[in-house]
Structure 1
Amino acid sequence: MLDAYLDLLIRWNSRINLVADAAPDVLRQRHILDCLQLAALVPPGSEPIADLGAGAGLPGLVLAIATGRPTHLVESDRRKAAFLTEAAARLDLKGVKVHPTRIEDATLPPIAIVTARALAPLDRLLPHAARLLETGGIAIFPKGRTAEAELAATRPAWTCQVERFASQTDREATIFRLSDIRHASPEA
């Protein structure tokens, strides 16, 4: 099914520029396999995933394919949302729901796992994750070489439990799995 997704991505990318690197081998390695490694960090279960700023469905559609979980794709760009809707239909991903809206305006059920890739720095992602996650939920955010600086910038406004995983596809990247995300207590 990932090959069918790659074919759709290539076809649509020529029309609406979903991702910058359009060569099939680059799309497979740099984007699809990079996202596929996140599936190993998803705890067992069937609770829903939300991909914020889903764009080309990376990682949301890849995780939906790999895990079979209900998946909410939040994307404000109508053209990209149209791609996501078409891809979910063509790939027969009945558990995928596309929300063509801004993240701030998205109304979702309680979410077990929130993810976003190449969307924003952590200090802008954590408020969205905190709002959308159910109690005990986690956020999985792949980050590049500025990962630790982004994490440091979330302090002192936010606290969370942090797990770090080395990327298998980019030696300069880190994947954060964050839990217990909340506003930091104001100091007295």
Structure 2
Amino acid sequence: MTSDEFAEITGVSRETLEGFETWRRLLEETNAHTNLVGRSTLADFWERHALDSYQLWDHIPEGARRFADLGAGAGFPGLALALGLKDRGVDGQVLMVDSVGKKVAFLNKVIQATGVPAEARSIRVETLDPHTCVDVVTARAFAPLHKLLGYAHPLLKNGALGLFFKGRRYEEELTEARKNWTFESEVIPSRTSDGVILRIEEVKRVR
């Protein structure tokens, strides 16, 4: 997939596309000496990373403005959400959390270069202030669902929606998670892979 094909599919503005290109360039430069993503995946940035992340906008509730991306890594999907906020002219923010300082330094470099409404914090997810108020919680390639719900529960119990990328074994993860949690879930097929997006809400710990 090319950048123009990505723009045609998503409908983003030329300015937003330039933001994605800046992100791609900085990722390529940084990944040469700091392992952020698998090097072989960079050649397919526009579909495997950019579109894969940006497809979340098809499932985000209208009016959602505040996002938390757990285990943000190289910014998928957090930076894509922030670029989407800017593209839509929405007054919102994406909080990206990762325990690896080098990854957070990269995220901050992209935030500064693109001017997106985002903040990156170098902390462990479990130390995130439980009173943090967000509308949507996201994660991609971060943790098994039963652990992810534990990390995200302080945010989800306050009414946030969970949108979590999962692979082909998502059914096993759902079964394992239901041993300790009750929740409503919807399985959304991914547009870019054989994985899925899990839409999770009404999460409660099993007593």
**TM-score, length-normalised on structure 1?**
0.91
The answer on whether the counterparts of 2:64 and 2:136 sit within 8 Å (CA) in structure 1 is: no
Deviation string, structure 1 residues 109-134 (Cα, Å, up to 9, x no partner):
21211111001110000012111236
TM-score, structure 2 as length reference: 0.83
Q: In 1, are the aligned partners of 2:164 and 2:198 still within 8 Å (CA)?
A: yes
Residue 69 of structure 2: aligned partner: 51
User: 1:31 aligned to 2:49?
Assistant: yes
User: What secondary structure does 1:135 align onto?
Assistant: coil
How do 1:108-147 residues align onto structure 2 when only pairs under 5 Å count? 109-133=132-156, 135-147=158-170
Question: Is 1:169 paired with 2:187?
Answer: no
CA distance in 1, matches of 2:124, 2:42: 30
Structure 2 counterpart of 1:7: 25
User: Cα RMSD between the aligned structures?
Assistant: 1.5
Q: Deviation at 1:47? A: 2.7
Percent of pairs with identical residues: 35
Q: C-alpha separation between the residues in 2 aligned to 1:166 and 1:65?
A: 23
Taking a change above 3 Å as real, the CA distance of residues 34 and 173 of structure 1, as seen in their structure-2 partners, is same
* Aligned twin of 2:202: 180
Partner of 2:38: 20
Letter in 2 for 1:141: F
**Structure with greater helix share of residues:** 2
Tell me, yes or no, if the aligned pair for 1:110 and 1:134 is still in contact at 8 Å. no
CA contact (8 A) 1:35 1:62 kept: yes
How far off its partner does 1:156 sit? 2.4
Task: Report runs of 4+ in structure 1 exceeding 4 Å deviation.
Answer: none
Deviations 1:30-74 (A, max 9, x none): 111111111211112243100101010011001111134300000
- The runs of 5 or more residues in structure 1 that have no matched partner are none
> Is contact 1:123-1:150 (8 Å) kept?
yes
Aligned 8 A contact 1:46 1:70 in 2 = no
Which moved further from structure 2: 20-29 or 158-167?
A: 20-29
1:112–1:134 Cα contact (<8 Å) kept: no
Shift of residue 22 of structure 1? 4.4
1:101: Cα distance to partner? 0.5
Distance between the aligned counterparts of 1:174 and 1:55, measured in 2? 19
C-alpha distance in 2 between matches for 1:174 and 1:148? 10
CA distance in 2, matches of 1:109, 1:138: 14
